Structure 1
């Protein structure tokens, strides 16, 4: 048997993984579990413990559970198991994803992360809400910015004033 015949007889990695996208979810759960357990190991516990359950207990349980679920999911998928399609969704699973929308949303979120400190949450939040609405298909150019600005200011005051979670106010709060 020649090399080309043996290669043709054996499917490649891509062909073996086709239809097993749940392995990506398994890998994500595994990475998340390892991240949580890594944080538990480096957790600073320089405070007094009250009761039998310490501050590392819950994150350890969550991290181990993530690892167990990741392994069980991978085993199930490799044995031929497959998740059921969502019955209530009106989605054509054969069509490719809308990567333009995903890219726009990623850009809006990254823009918010960059702009929140210099502009403050009221302005960067308004850009975040308006940009998300635009990326998801809304084209109400007169209404969307007003709703985004109102939503951002209300969110800022709820977190900053009512919940006591300080958000950067930026130049807008310096004026007020």
Structure 2
């Protein structure tokens, strides 16, 4: 793994997750290697973003299921469901802290848009910014030409994000 982006790879990447052929095959790994060792900076960034988004989604689903049947041994302190939620909490706290407000801010600023870019094959109406009359996923465009415009990776960059 290198700190440099993959030669010839665009920054920001034009698409979400790195393709499977960019990963090291599991059967070829040696001690200390990971499937991600050959990925460039941009690919690693998108992969980490996708993992965090998937973790937040899985954690939300786990909590909803727990509320439906909290007496199930799966949700006891040493149950697999409770341990899975504790692992998710540990990782989310590293990024979000303990504040629900911080979690909502991160979701509004990044994951609301990134869900469609990181997982384009998984249509998710709860994370769409908007849909135009052609059915295309779009971001708000509050400038003089108010309306919607196609969402791009650049919308997620701090320097050139969507107009405020």
TM-score by length of 2: 0.26
Higher strand proportion = 2
Asked which structure has the greater CA Rg, the reply is 1
Higher helix proportion = 1
TM-score by length of 1: 0.24
